[in-house]
Structure 1
């Protein structure tokens, strides 16, 4: 007898389940017996869907870190992986992650199984794309949660995700706010660029995240510069981790096919050298690293107007997420382009075919240098790196030598040097936006040098402030002031008094400069014409207020500082100045145009009244605690206040009752007046009665006519029912016998 369809499908499911269990048992046996000797992904004990996805993505040969790390992760051990940049660390944890979840029969109903944390959004996006390529033939669900995306959409999908790629800040936000986000069943925690995540920048965030995760889990740490701190490893609850450093015993921790150069240059010639480098490398793909976001913006906007002949892009942390994604995709697909960026690009990002990495500003340490130059010479390709150092920063070369990093010195021929100082001055003279960006770039660079920890390399006192401002095209040196109590500042406040003023090296130099100034006093230059412009601050007056001013040095006053008369402002004016909105961005410019948003920055009107002497007195006087206590015992004051309020209520109640009685008396008086008039009316006269009756009849007829005209006629009504009949005889009312006889004769005659 044939079996039904349900029986066949049940039997097919059982056979499929048995086949999967048998496959998982075979994989577990292969993993436990695997010796680690493999050169291709097909030699690894992994599932066929993973092998097919790797082949379609053109991943065939194993790198050193992949060959050593993947077998250990497959066996469930905690791993600390350190390898050069561009060595394939991402696949070293993505492939075993997918395989471990598959061998544990992980489904969408089991919740979150693996968590990958990246320090930057761009690296998280790149890791997620690689995860999608490798795991596309599996049934796992994966999600990407980073800052800048729609938080509500991420929150709705969290409960259905098996693998999450995220940044620390957004992950902690979901842990604190999302109700359906459960991490109690987590199997694997992976930190990409672990040394960056474990540093002080993410310390508190990572501690809060790890505290919410289960202790029994597998933890993986991967980076080019791996941490070995016992304290950091204890924070993550690692259990007997395997330390894998594939290039630790080699001559250098940077790629072998990377050509590394350095150049000693004054601070005032950096932009000239950079522009000349771009003009001579128009057929290359280059990345330029700077210290701060404001420097990136200024260099990008200025060079874009100078038109060097190549596509220019910029990427920094202050951009919106959509713009950062667009710039990353555009630079990835470009063949010849220049990308100005901060250190958010230094970690893990894979831009194909980058020819040059130029470090216009020195990195904060050797690890940052390694990550920066790792953007080129990836996956056995060639590459070049150029580091620009100030004469005071030449000590940094000793740091590189201690890490066995070979760097070769180069020089620029004098005949090949170009200067763009005049072009930058013209731009700052014509466009206030460029001048504003230049001022902010000047301040942010000095602040970055001032806050560096390695004071032997970054010597703040040796920077030529006035000459540097002039090299940026600024018509003057912006004045800034750093607080002595700032954390990380190694210099006392006494040494910071005259650092940033023009001519700070010595008193003798300032005297010689004053003599030269007296000799050239009659010479008119372009700067004199700039200072004499009466409307130079009309277009953007708020921008000058953004520059921090040195209040104690009046002799070095320049055009960026507004002197105010020495007088004290009234208190209300001072409060208005405190609440005044400082416009330092386009968002605040739009905010200033909104009346509703500006109400909180405006002081409300004060109610006042004038006393007998004509002085304005506040309507509401504020009673202090001292004056309140002097007025008497609080309990007695409360009783007096209640008694006064009770008397006021009784008076008001009596007045209301008197008003009601007056209304009643008036109503009674009017009724009596009407009755008196009715009694005085004489109804004895018949003529008057008839006149009254006729008048009433006429009024009633007019009313009936008006009503009949307004309302439609009914079906039973005649159209002429209101007309008087023709056979009706009008007679007067008989009053005597003779009248009655006459009326009878008339009626008989008409009949």
Structure 2
């Protein structure tokens, strides 16, 4: 029986850890409550700039310090205190102002104050329009959230769907693109968002512009209503405001340096440190201007925006072959996911270089130290312009933007014309020519699809000059452009018919006036003759105008470029093109380009009379002489050689009737047939004898090889046995015992030598090497063949 004293002592020792853990939990709970109370009562001062002054946890402060984030931007100083109070935020700020941290810090703090853990499921969802921006947000989240215990995941298109499904249920924070997120919500079993605390929509206007409005509406239906929503964008459009009304509850609107245009439904904000420039040049001089600019800024970091993927491919490939002297990179939507991420990372860590990109790089991407943003093709609206130039002058750094505008004049810049070089590249490299054709068509299509037809007119573009500027031997045939031309011709026909009808009407009216002289006509007919002469002049004027219009419509001039385009390189489709760039099919490609090969004769054909007129007299004489030789050459039959080496004409068949007569009628023919059959039968019998003899020889050879193999195995075994005996003799001589076994600790006798297996070649070599070579020296010198080895083995066995 134990005494009560020791019992109380043990209980006290067991209760001490429990009390300390309980006290620790109580202290942590009080700390979180105090932090939340501080955040709710926090009123930011006017000079708030340091992250350390915010009512946030020590884990977040350590992460910010480790990532070298010290001072806040304007959007951060105004939105973070509001978000920490749990309110919805509608934020509008210029690009590069730090919107990413403005929503990542509240996400970490809200989940931390609510003690969010792995068992609680998805707590925060961040939706981004593009994959590159989602990757960038995820990297910033990892850099500042390293001291928290939350699990975070990245869901974007182009990655393994199965791997994402396995990890999805364990994530507390998700950064995703709309399409892949909706796919998981509809198809992934066990993916729940019922406990979602925060929803972040980054670049909301871009999400809507990219056609994700229906996807976003479907996503919102999966999410709970009791959540906090943060919506950020560089521009505020009517669609974004409509989305805010649907998804936000009493939001706090926060805008930085916003400029409201009463005549527009868009609110834009450009960076403060941005220098904006524009350049006026013609369409056919754009590439030369771009080349000259790059050559004069080799140590700068430049982003060049073009309107389509095919233009990016063409300009990138051609400029790479021209070697400007600075690194060139391309980024567009036709690239695979890994290539896009690699391109983004490469340009982000480059000190200088040129990135050719579509608008996929215009939203949210943070490329450090970009000096220039060049917009070779005009943006579709003001919002796109703002996002493009926002890739430079980010935060407190400076940057410059240059916009290429048409038309007409080129002043103040000395350019280096590269049109001839591009033309040579297109002639030498079919892939470059094909890329140029695709770039030509895609640019015209982008102009054709512009909303404002009063400014962007495809029919008024210098198409031929633009094709020459790309190095193409003539403009490709484009369906929608042909429709525009046909429409203009119809209008011209109607104008001509109207003019002709007016002229005929004038003539008819003039003749009627001449038939019935007026009352005021003089006796000598002076006034009547004046009227008739005026009618004749009007008729001749309208008739000449009509003739000129018809001539202009019917007359076509084929230049050397047209002939070259009709004859050269018309079948170089995807076979060569896919080796150069990744080709993905476009559904609407057939509506915009049609390439046809012109019917023509070969230029080297001596019978080509069309080209005879273009040759010199000397070459015409030579061609006529060559043609005469070819036309008057005698017809020669082809000679073949039989097995005996005798030459005879190919397909030389004798006359059947004469052959029958020579053989004495049908009876002779039957005898010839029997003779032929007998001769063939003899040949077959002889061939059978030869085949049987060859088969017999092969069988004998196979049997001989098998016996040699068996004999070699016997000899090998005999040699191994001899080596075993010799080794045993040597041990008896040295140790004075015939025992050739070893004992284990438990008394089990284990043999010292095991029989070698056929698979182990090293063991055979080991046992085949005798320990005492003196007994076999005489025999090993003379045993050179297989029979000698057999004799040696038998002789040793007899011993």
- Given candidates 120, 129, 134, the residue that maps to 1:110 is 120
Q: Deviations over 1:63-117 (max 9, x none)?
A: 1101110011111111100111111111000001110111111111110011000
Q: Is the 8 A contact 1:79 1:220 kept in 2?
A: yes
Give, in angstroms, the shift of residue 17 of structure 1. Answer: 1.3
Give, in angstroms, the shift of residue 256 of structure 1. Answer: 2.2
Give, in angstroms, the shift of residue 20 of structure 1. Answer: 1.5
Q: Is the 8 A contact 1:479 1:548 kept in 2?
A: no
Structure 2: distance between partners of 1:286 and 1:481: 36
Structure 2: distance between partners of 1:30 and 1:299: 56
Q: Deviations over 1:28-61 (max 9, x none)?
A: 1101210112221010000001001101111111
Residue 35 (structure 1) aligned with residue 33 (structure 2): no
Q: Is the 8 A contact 2:201 2:230 kept in 1?
A: yes
- Given candidates 185, 205, 211, the residue that maps to 2:195 is 185
Q: Deviations over 1:272-324 (max 9, x none)?
A: 00001100000100000000111100100010001111100000011001101
* Structure 1 unmatched runs, 5+: 393-409, 486-490, 500-505, 552-557, 566-751
Q: Is the 8 A contact 2:566 2:597 kept in 1?
A: no
Give SS of 2:272's match.
coil
Structure 2: distance between partners of 1:95 and 1:509: 71
- Given candidates 323, 331, 341, the residue that maps to 1:307 is 323
Residue 274 (structure 1) aligned with residue 309 (structure 2): no
Q: Is the 8 A contact 1:31 1:74 kept in 2?
A: yes
Residue 460 (structure 1) aligned with residue 495 (structure 2): no
Corresponding residue number in structure 1 for 2:401? 385
Residue 25 (structure 1) aligned with residue 36 (structure 2): no
Q: CA separation of 1:341/1:549 partners in 2, compared to 1, >3 Å: closer, same or farther?
A: closer
Structure 1: distance between partners of 2:67 and 2:295: 36
Structure 2: distance between partners of 1:388 and 1:376: 17
Q: Is the 8 A contact 2:459 2:481 kept in 1?
A: no
Corresponding residue number in structure 1 for 2:477? 479
- Tell me the TM-score normalized by structure 2: 0.61
Corresponding residue number in structure 2 for 1:561? 596
Residue 245 (structure 1) aligned with residue 244 (structure 2): no
Q: Deviations over 1:450-487 (max 9, x none)?
A: 112232332222212222111111112111223999xx
Spell out the pairing of 1:509-520 with structure 2 (5 A cutoff): 517=557
Structure 2: distance between partners of 1:333 and 1:382: 18
Structure 2: distance between partners of 1:367 and 1:516: 44
Corresponding residue number in structure 1 for 2:444? 446
Q: Is the 8 A contact 1:112 1:185 kept in 2?
A: yes
Q: CA separation of 1:163/1:334 partners in 2, compared to 1, >3 Å: closer, same or farther?
A: same
Give SS of 1:262's match.
strand
Q: CA separation of 1:429/1:9 partners in 2, compared to 1, >3 Å: closer, same or farther?
A: farther
Q: CA separation of 1:374/1:15 partners in 2, compared to 1, >3 Å: closer, same or farther?
A: same
Q: Is the 8 A contact 2:155 2:174 kept in 1?
A: yes
Give SS of 2:479's match.
coil
Corresponding residue number in structure 1 for 2:412? 413
Give, in angstroms, the shift of residue 517 of structure 1. Answer: 4.5
Structure 2: distance between partners of 1:231 and 1:311: 42
Q: CA RMSD in A?
A: 3.3
Structure 1: distance between partners of 2:96 and 2:387: 10
Spell out the pairing of 1:223-372 with structure 2 (5 A cutoff): 223-227=233-237, 229=239, 232-233=242-243, 236-248=246-258, 253-372=269-388
Give SS of 1:55's match.
helix
Spell out the pairing of 1:615-634 with structure 2 (5 A cutoff): none
* Structure 2 unmatched runs, 5+: 1-8, 262-267, 493-545, 578-584, 601-799
Q: Would you say how many aligned residue pairs link Structure 1 and Structure 2?
A: 522
Give SS of 1:201's match.
coil
The structure that is helix-richer by fraction is 2
Corresponding residue number in structure 2 for 1:11? 19
Corresponding residue number in structure 2 for 1:49? 59
Q: Is the 8 A contact 1:479 1:549 kept in 2?
A: no
Give, in angstroms, the shift of residue 430 of structure 1. Answer: 1.0
Q: Deviations over 1:259-279 (max 9, x none)?
A: 100011111000000001100
Q: CA separation of 1:390/1:312 partners in 2, compared to 1, >3 Å: closer, same or farther?
A: same
Structure 2: distance between partners of 1:540 and 1:246: 51
Give, in angstroms, the shift of residue 516 of structure 1. Answer: 9.5
Give SS of 1:362's match.
coil
Q: Is the 8 A contact 2:133 2:365 kept in 1?
A: yes
Q: Is the 8 A contact 1:82 1:226 kept in 2?
A: yes
Q: Is the 8 A contact 2:473 2:561 kept in 1?
A: no
Residue 164 (structure 1) aligned with residue 196 (structure 2): no
Give SS of 1:443's match.
helix
Q: CA separation of 1:147/1:515 partners in 2, compared to 1, >3 Å: closer, same or farther?
A: closer
Spell out the pairing of 1:80-159 with structure 2 (5 A cutoff): 80-159=90-169
Q: Is the 8 A contact 2:281 2:410 kept in 1?
A: no
Structure 2: distance between partners of 1:289 and 1:59: 30
Q: Is the 8 A contact 1:198 1:232 kept in 2?
A: no
Q: Deviations over 1:181-237 (max 9, x none)?
A: 101111111000011123461111111111111111111110111245586236643
Structure 1: distance between partners of 2:548 and 2:590: 27
Q: Deviations over 1:374-404 (max 9, x none)?
A: 0001111111100001129xxxxxxxxxxxx
